[in-house]
């Protein structure tokens, strides 16, 4: 831009709003910007009140449903800071003529690296050894190697593909389940596509990398979790509601699953202390995309999205 735009922009994302570099870069393009500095995720009337009078918004974890959107007739563009679209009612946006700025996969390396950390931590039982050491117990544990294990990847999109690359030095056998086929990628990396049940039964470690939508809520329920081997591990760095957390807790407590590591929960912060305190469960507070490099990439993509938004129907697969 040769000069700053006077278009009113709101930034609801707390992470973006407090980041000095992203704030400065946005203010180089727009002079009329309102930042959410409450430290809270805005919702309902608070969100509507904050957004009134703004034409464009950079959103984070706020829920933009039909009720909120219907009260914002002046809103024309929502640019997403991050990659998850489950907070946005795309159909309502489409009906109201609101465009979407979105760059999928912009934080894929950050999420893939955390997934790899989880995988190594679980198989070596480092999380359990650490907890025991904090309790004053010196109990050296003999875990397993990740090298040579069979890894099942559910969802081979941006993060799933990046995880495949990170696993190469470990010589893992890679199994994949996805509703989209990537035959060239599978052939290039000796990946074996298969049905979900078979993948769950054969994998030593399963990692989830699918979006949350109507078809993936409780995707791994009690029945599907029961297909996993008692010696297997489950990793979720995608979205919490994809896994039935009550069923997962029961499987872990009963020893029907060796362990799990989650970065995401159905409700955040999680409200089930029994689950997060299980010795064979490891968790982090949704930090998958929070590497500094990923934050900058997501923020810059969101700024770009303010001027290069598209009709939500352009992302038809997300509307299913």
DSSP assignment string, 130-146: HHHHHTT---------S
Is residue 268 annotated as part of the catalytic site, yes or no?
yes
0.75 surpassed by pTM: yes
In the chain the domains, ranked by start, together with CATH numbers, are 9-106+291-319 (3.40.50.720), 108-283 (3.40.50.720)
**In the prediction, which pLDDT does 319 show?**
43
Catalytic residue from among 45, 197, 268, 292 = 268
Is residue 239 annotated as part of the catalytic site, yes or no?
yes
Catalytic residue from among 19, 54, 239, 245 = 239
CA distance 304 to 134: 46
Determine the straight-line distance between the first and last CA of the chain, rounded to whole angstroms: 36
**In the prediction, which pLDDT does 314 show?**
77
Check residue 243 and report its DSSP letter: B
CA distance 141 to 13: 42
Q: How many residues does the chain have?
A: 320
SS3 state of residue 152: strand
CA distance 200 to 256: 13
| pLDDT tens per residue across span 238-265 | 999 999 999 999 999 999 999 999 999 9
**In the prediction, which pLDDT does 171 show?**
98
pLDDT under 50 in the chain at which residues? 1, 319-320
CA dist 189 → 140, 157, 161, 205, 277 (Å): 36, 14, 10, 18, 37
**In the prediction, which pLDDT does 320 show?**
42
| pLDDT tens per residue across span 229-245 | 999 999 999 999 999 99
**In the prediction, which pLDDT does 205 show?**
98
Catalytic residue from among 23, 52, 124, 286 = 286
**In the prediction, which pLDDT does 148 show?**
98
Among residues 88, 82, 86, 53, which one has the least CA distance to residue 68?
Answer: 88
CA distance 305 to 312: 13
Dihedral of alpha carbons 261, 264, 265, 268, sign = positive
């Amino acid at each position: 831009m040769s000069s700053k735009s006077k278009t009113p922009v709101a930034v609801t994302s707390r992470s973006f709003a407090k980041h000095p570099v992203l704030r400065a870069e946005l203010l180089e393009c727009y002079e009329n910007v309102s930042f959410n500095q409450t430290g809270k995720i805005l919702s309902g009337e608070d969100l509507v009140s904050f957004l009134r009078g703004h034409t464009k918004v950079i959103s984070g974890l706020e829920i933009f449903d039909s009720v909120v959107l219907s009260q914002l007739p002046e809103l024309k563009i929502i640019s997403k800071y991050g990659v998850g679209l489950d907070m946005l009612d795309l159909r309502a946006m489409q009906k109201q003529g609101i465009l979407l700025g979105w760059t999928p996969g912009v934080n894929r390396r950050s999420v893939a690296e955390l997934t790899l950390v989880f995988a190594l931590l679980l198989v070596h039982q480092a999380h359990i050894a650490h907890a025991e050491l904090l309790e004053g117990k010196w109990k050296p544990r003999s875990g397993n190697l990740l090298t040579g294990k069979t890894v099942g990847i559910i969802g081979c999109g941006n993060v799933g593909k990046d995880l495949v690359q990170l696993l190469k030095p470990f010589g893992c056998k890679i199994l994949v389940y996805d509703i989209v086929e990537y035959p060239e990628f599978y052939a290039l990396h000796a990946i074996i596509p298969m049905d979900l049940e078979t993948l769950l039964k054969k994998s030593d470690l399963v990692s989830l990398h699918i979006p949350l939508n109507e078809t993936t809520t409780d995707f791994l329920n009690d029945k599907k979790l029961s297909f996993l081997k008692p010696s297997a591990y489950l990793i979720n760095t995608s979205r919490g509601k994809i896994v039935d957390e009550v069923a997962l807790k029961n499987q872990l407590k009963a020893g029907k699953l060796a362990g799990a590591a989650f970065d995401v929960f159905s409700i955040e912060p999680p409200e089930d202390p029994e689950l997060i305190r299980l010795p064979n469960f490891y968790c982090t507070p949704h930090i998958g995309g929070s590497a500094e490099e990923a934050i900058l990439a997501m923020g810059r993509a969101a700024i770009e999205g303010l001027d290069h938004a598209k009709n939500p129907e352009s992302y038809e697969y997300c509307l299913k």
